[in-house]
Structures are given as C-alpha cells and as structure tokens.
Amino acid sequence: MRKKYKGKITELEGYDPWTLLDFIFMSGSHWGLAVFFSLCFGDSYSKIAFVGWLLGGFWSCAAGLAIHEAAHQLVLPGRWGSFLAGFIGELPCFLPAYRAFLHYHMPHHSYISVDLGKKNQEEMDRSQKKQPMYDPDLPTQFEAYMFSKNMLTRISFLILQVLLYAFRPQICCPRSLTPEDFIGIVGQILYIGSGCYVTESYGPLVYLMCASLLGQGLHIASIHFVAEHYSITEDTSFVNDPNQTQDTFSYYGPLNYILFKGGYHIEHHDFPKIPYRKLPKLKALAPEFYDSLPHHTSYFKVLFRFIFNHPGLWQRVKREYKSD
C-alpha cells in the first residue's frame, strides 16, 4: 500500500498538536460533570455512581484512547511532549495509566498476536529486555478458561476487563516505576481532590471511580477492547483457523467521534504514525485495501454477540514466537 500511495500516506503521518485541545476539553468537562452531578445528587452516592458509569464511562474510554494517541507520539514530539499529552489525557482514568500503557503497548504492535511462551520468555531472560517480547494484549490461557464457559462468565470478563488489561502485563512482565508514574499519581490526587474540595463531598471521587472502573467494564464504549482484536464479526465468530480470520478488526460507526477514531484499528496498525483525525482519510485513499475486510458497524451487535453467541476469549489469533 505504501508503495502505491507513498507520497500521500507520508503526508498523513506526523504530529497533530491540536489534539491537545481535545484532551484538555475532555479532561476538563469530565471533572466538571463529576462536580455537577455531585452537587445535584448530594449524598445520594448510588445515583452519582450510576451516572458515573453510564455517562462518565464514555469519557473514561475516550481517555484510554487519548493516552493511546499520546503514546504513539501523535500529539507532541519527544518523551516529555508525549508525557504532557498523556498526563492531560489520562486524568479521567482515575489511576495514572499513560506510562504503563506506553511500556506495554509498543510490543503489542511489534509482536501482535505473539503469545508468551517458553521461547520468548527464555530470550527475554537472556537479553534482559525491559519490554515484553510478546503481545501483552493477549488473554492468558487461565483467563480464556475462566471467562469463556458461558454467558455469565463472559459478562464477568467484560466487567473485569479493564483490571485484567491493566494488571495482566504487570504480572507477566513486571516493570519499574518511572518519574512519570509519580507525577501521574500527584496529578490524579489533585484532579480528584479538587473536585471533592469544591463540592465538600466524596461525590466526585465516587463519580470518577465508577466512570473508570465500571465505565471501562460492562459499557457500550468499552466493547472496543473486544471488537479490535477478537474474531467476533458475523463471518469470523466461529472460525478456528487463524489463516481464515484477522489479527485486527475495524469499526466504522458513530462512537468513533467520541473515541478518537479508535475504531479505525486496522488502519492504525498499518500506519501507526497517522494521527487519529486523518485515519478516515487513509481509508478513503485506499478503499481497495479496507472495504472488503470483515469489520464492525455497531458496538451493540458486538456486545450482544460476545455475551450470547460467541466462544469467548478463545476466539483470538495467537501465534508462536519465532526468534530472528
């Protein structure tokens, strides 16, 4: 594709500093909603929690894709430029997530669908590489066994998926803390604490916590975690041969306007240096490469198919590690 459209693709690649304004608006409005609903509902923490999950979940999922954009250095250049973007973008996440995401997400691109096994574990031990030599996004065998049996276990996976996504790589391939982590902790304390100070209540804490932990769980926006890499289209849900399905799937629907075009996922994996705003232009530039591929048009369909008619976590391409 690059050979055919080399110059035009190169024009799409680069930084988009205007995205920083999107992040500021996102994090500022999320804080404002936490304060607003805390003042509206007073000490009715159950109502605050419900609104935090239902409404705030969209902001929290957007924040996850904001730090994704920052991690790829698509907003500002350099370590600290990207950290500034990631720091602002991660505020709705309730916990500092940017630096950990950066550490574990790059191998997801370099080793996509490569499972952790004896070969790459031994090579990591020998080379003492700090980053994983496998795809940290892949669920473990234990997770697939525990959460794929029936409808209830798959719902349990959706509820817990943000915690599994966050802590799985930390357990399989631990990392050391960095200055960015500590700055992020301070930022979260100030972000949450200022809301509690303004309202003189714990309402903002409840709202922000539920928006993140519940909103990135069983929520229509968070189903993007499943839609991006599991074989869950109508044509691939029960395909067992990895050569007859895909590692990555795109979503072309309205939630892309909220989730920083995260649905254009095949396009992103093909050219990870293209900012989110220009990914639709890539698809329009090369329709012969994308239009015929299995894709999603509704996250509601993905959600219901995963719960009611799907093998669960087993339906994801896994490949063995091959050393160079």
Tell me the C-alpha distance between 56 and 238, whole Å. Answer: 34
Q: Give the residue from 226, 210, 179, 203 showing the smallest Cα distance to 79.
A: 179
The answer to whether residues 131 and 67 touch, using CB atoms and an 8 Å cutoff, is no
Asked if the structure places residue 319 within a domain, the reply is no
Q: How many CB atoms lie within 10 A of CB 129?
A: 13
How confident is the model over 192-203, as pLDDT tens digits?
Answer: 999 999 999 999
Residue 318 resides in a domain? no
Going along the chain, which residue ranges are E strands? 250-251, 295-296
Report whether 54 contacts 82 (CB < 8 A): no
Give the single-character DSSP code of 220. T
Distances (CA, A) of 120 to 112, 117, 180, 247: 14, 6, 28, 20
The CA-atom distances, in angstroms, between 147 and each of 110, 151, 159 are 27, 9, 11
33 in a structural domain: yes
Phi, psi of 321 (to 5 degrees): -75, 135
DSSP for residue 296: E
> How far is 38 from 253, CA to CA, in rounded Å?
32
Task: For the full predicted model, state whether its pTM sits above 0.75.
Answer: yes
Range of the domain at 115: 2-310
Question: For residue 324, is it within any domain?
Answer: no
Number of domains in the chain: 1
pLDDT in tens, the chain (324 residues): 877 877 899 999 999 999 999 999 999 999 999 999 999 999 899 999 999 999 999 999 999 999 999 999 999 999 999 999 999 999 999 999 999 999 999 999 999 988 888 787 878 777 766 778 889 999 999 999 999 999 999 999 999 999 999 899 988 888 889 999 999 999 999 999 999 999 999 999 999 999 999 999 999 999 999 999 999 998 888 887 777 888 999 999 999 999 999 999 999 999 999 999 999 999 999 999 999 999 999 999 999 999 999 999 999 988 888 776
Flag whether 320 is in a domain.
no
Tell me if 175 is assigned to some domain: yes
Q: Does a structural domain hold residue 321? A: no
Q: Which residues contact 139 (CB under 8 A, 6 or more apart)?
A: 147, 164, 168, 313, 316
b/e map of 73-97 (b: 16 or more CB within 10 Å)? bbbbeeeebbbbbbbbbbbbbbebb
Give the number of other Cβ atoms within 10 Å of residue 273's Cβ. Answer: 14
Is residue 168 classed as helix, strand or coil in its secondary structure? Answer: helix
First to last CA, the chain: 25
